[in-house]
Amino acid sequence: MPGLSALRRFGRALALASLALGYVAAAAAEPPLKVEIAFVAHARAPSPPYVIDPPPPGEGFDGARLALQENATTGAFLNQIFDLQNVELGEDENPVEAIKPLLAQGKKLFVSALPANETLALADALKAEGALLFNAGATDDFLRGAGCRSNLFHTAPSRAMLTDALFQYLAVRRWNKILLVPGPNAEDAAYADAVRASAKKFGAKIVAEKPWTFGPLARARSDAITQAEALTFSRGVDADMVVVADEAEDFGDYILYRTSEPRLVAGTQGLIPVSWHPTHTAYGAEQLQNRFVRMTKRRMRPIDYQAWIAVRAIGEAVTELRAADPQKIANTLQGPNSTLAIFKGAAASFRPWDRQLRQAILLAQPKSLVGLAPQPGFLHQRSTLDTLGVDETESACKPGKS
């Protein structure tokens, strides 16, 4: 009888609903799991007038805030509460001293956007307390090598990953003759070292190196910058590309269109390898971009994205574990089956040997996306994402390393 069948279906639905209500009631009877995360970074000093696109207030922390909202959505069904604290440091404030009160309160999960030396000091201080640190800012390769720490995870790509992504693209285009222009700062030297390693790795030839010795054109105060004789320094060099190492953005933008012969420019300016870019909308990225714009009224920047990944990684691990123990989170994230959806195609995962997040790298110019690395045809026995950056056999971060 149709009526009897309908009654049976209704009875089964009622029984399932009763079970669900019982589960929710049982979960509600337990105290919620509180997951406390601290974001540590220096407060942004006001940018000088010559900076056209200054870093916005809240850079990094805003990405962490968005991830916290997403974690909280899932946590609401699992009796989990997520909390995020912003630790904004003064210019000369010591991050290790700043986080001591938080450790005394029992906080064990930290995300930072600090320079490399402060990241390392913070990781050491947290390791002694059994706490975990996610590096969302520093790209320095030594943090993934000789300076690696077992409690230090990296959602920021390394310089080696960035320059490998660039040179994969140049290899595909067969633009193999490189004029390298390193700037005068220590960060520029580190970027130039990564460029040299990537050129060797992917078969490019650095035909000349011309260190930039003409000062910071971005800070100049006259029309002379458009006619500066310094910009003829590349004359006579047979190169396909000028690769610039100018992390301080002092001169790189002024090389474009001002060389004596027509030259493409890439590196820290021109065609740049980045973890995130406003023009990236594939693989569901448009939804993430839109959520961020609605929350902040600005575009997501790389450090925002890297902080977002860090907080989402914590959330994913807590969801799986139903616990917030730092060591269990670390073990889970390094596990062979742990992956993260980060809106760049291939699922991301942490390399177990140096705890660097495997991720695709975008190649972009200011207003358009040019490519995505790994490029087709670059293979690896484990993951094509491991064609970017220092591989396990080459890494100075070994098992048992502090």
172 and 257 belong to one structural domain:
yes
Q: Distance between CA 241 and CA 199 in Å, rounded? A: 12
Q: Distance between CA 125 and CA 114 in Å, rounded? A: 14
CB-based contacts of 156-159 (< 8 A; 24+ apart in sequence): 156/275, 156/302, 156/303, 156/306, 157/275, 157/356, 157/357, 157/359, 157/361, 157/388, 157/389, 158/194, 158/356, 158/389, 158/390, 159/190, 159/191, 159/194
Residues 42-89: pLDDT tens digits?
Answer: 998 887 777 788 889 999 999 999 999 999 999 999 999 999 999 999
38 and 97 belong to one structural domain:
yes
pLDDT at residue 400, as a whole number: 60
306 and 341 belong to one structural domain:
yes
Pick the range with the lowest mean pLDDT from 23-27, 135-139, 182-186, 191-195.
23-27
106 and 204 belong to one structural domain:
no
Residue ending a domain, among 232, 255, 273, is 273
Cβ neighbours, 10 Å, residue 279: 15
Q: What is the mean pLDDT of residues 205-227?
A: 76
Is residue 374 assigned to a domain?
no
Is residue 181 assigned to a domain?
yes
pLDDT at residue 315, as a whole number: 97
Q: What is the extent of the structural domain holding 175?
A: 161-273
What are the distances in angstroms from CA 75 to CA 37, 316, 392? 14, 10, 35
Closest alpha carbon to 40 in 364, 300, 307, 272: 307
pLDDT at residue 380, as a whole number: 82
| Cβ neighbours for 61, distance < 8 A, ≥ 6 positions apart | 39, 41, 86, 88, 307
Identify the residue with better confidence: 315 or 4: 315
Q: What is the mean pLDDT of residues 216-225?
A: 61
Is residue 17 assigned to a domain?
no
Is residue 386 assigned to a domain?
no
Is residue 90 assigned to a domain?
yes
147 and 285 belong to one structural domain:
yes
DSSP letters spanning 41-109: EEPPPPPPTT-SSPPPTTTTHHHHHHHHHHHHHHHTTTTEEEEEEEEEE-TT--HHHHHHHHHHTT--E
229 and 294 belong to one structural domain:
no
Residues 102-135: pLDDT tens digits?
Answer: 999 999 999 999 999 999 999 999 999 999 999 9
Identify the residue with better confidence: 232 or 36: 36
Is the full-model pTM beyond 0.75?
A: yes
CATH number for the domain that contains residue 269: 3.40.50.2300
146 and 284 belong to one structural domain:
yes
- For residue 302, cis peptide bond before it (omega within 30 degrees of 0): no
Residues 140-172: pLDDT tens digits?
Answer: 999 999 999 999 999 999 999 999 999 999 999
153 and 218 belong to one structural domain:
no
252 and 296 belong to one structural domain:
no
- Count structural domains, the chain: 2
Residue type, 400: G
Q: Distance between CA 41 and CA 29 in Å, rounded? A: 38
Pick the range with the lowest mean pLDDT from 26-30, 56-60, 125-129, 180-184.
26-30
pLDDT at residue 306, as a whole number: 98
pLDDT bracket for residue 258 (50, 70, 90): confident
pLDDT at residue 60, as a whole number: 98
The Cα angle at residue 299 between residues 283 and 365, in degrees rounded to 5: 70
Pick the range with the lowest mean pLDDT from 113-117, 153-157, 351-355, 377-381.
377-381
144 and 38 belong to one structural domain:
yes
What are the distances in angstroms from CA 390 to CA 167, 174, 232, 267? 14, 23, 35, 18
Q: Is the sign of the CA dihedral 34, 35, 41, 43 positive or negative?
A: negative
pLDDT at residue 402, as a whole number: 56
What are the distances in angstroms from CA 92 to CA 45, 88, 96, 116, 123? 12, 12, 12, 15, 18
Rg of the chain over all Cα atoms, to the nearest angstrom? 24
Closest alpha carbon to 307 in 114, 162, 149: 114
Is residue 292 assigned to a domain?
yes
Is residue 12 assigned to a domain?
no
Q: Distance between CA 51 and CA 53 in Å, rounded? A: 6
Residues 325-345: pLDDT tens digits?
Answer: 999 999 999 999 999 999 999
152 and 284 belong to one structural domain:
yes
Residue ending a domain, among 247, 273, 299, is 273
Residue ending a domain, among 226, 247, 273, is 273
Cα 24–chain centre separation: 37
289 and 140 belong to one structural domain:
yes
